[in-house]
Amino acid sequence: MTTAVIGIFGAVKISGPRAINMLGAASLVLRYLGTVFKKLGNVYEDSDEALRQWFGNAGKNKVVRKFITSSPPLRAKVGKFYKVDKMTVVEMLGTVIDSTVNLFLF
């Protein structure tokens, strides 16, 4: 995300072909991170849906139903405290915008 912030800042502050290069790098980084976080956010959604389907298909088998009920959906973790979900892309873009504006004001 730092590359995106510096790229956007440089695209505005610097003139000439270097500004186009920095804007291109920032847009590539944002596109890549957006795609990665979107795919990781879908892991939780797909896992939760699969568990619900298995619970419905378990029928009257108590052991399978207890196991499925006690199993949490899969999540992708970033660091120790942060879990990726579908809103992570929006949070990432908000962080990039906020950091870029702070850099302009500094």
Domain boundaries, the chain: 2-90
What per-residue confidence (pLDDT) applies to 68? 87
CA distances from 54 to 41, 47, 49, 65, 71 (A): 21, 11, 9, 8, 11
Mean pLDDT over all residues of the chain? 88
Looking at residue 65, its pLDDT comes to 85
Report the SS3 class of residue 80: coil
> Percent of the chain scored above 90 by pLDDT?
30
- Residue 40 CA, distance from chain mean position: 6
Residue 60 is predicted with a pLDDT of 80
Contact 41, 85 (CB under 8 A): yes
Interval 56-82 mean pLDDT: 85
pLDDT of residue 32: 94
Mind listing the pLDDT tens digit for each residue in 11-35?
998 988 999 999 999 999 999 999 9
Task: For 68-80, write each residue's pLDDT tens digit.
Answer: 888 898 888 888 8
Is the CB of residue 103 less than 8 Å from the CB of residue 5?
Answer: yes
| Residue partners of 64: CB distance under 8 A and separation at least 6 | 54, 58
Residue pair 95/1 in contact (Cβ under 8 Å)? The answer is yes
Strand partners, 82: 78
pLDDT of 1 reads 83
Is it the case that residue 62 has pLDDT exceeding 90? no
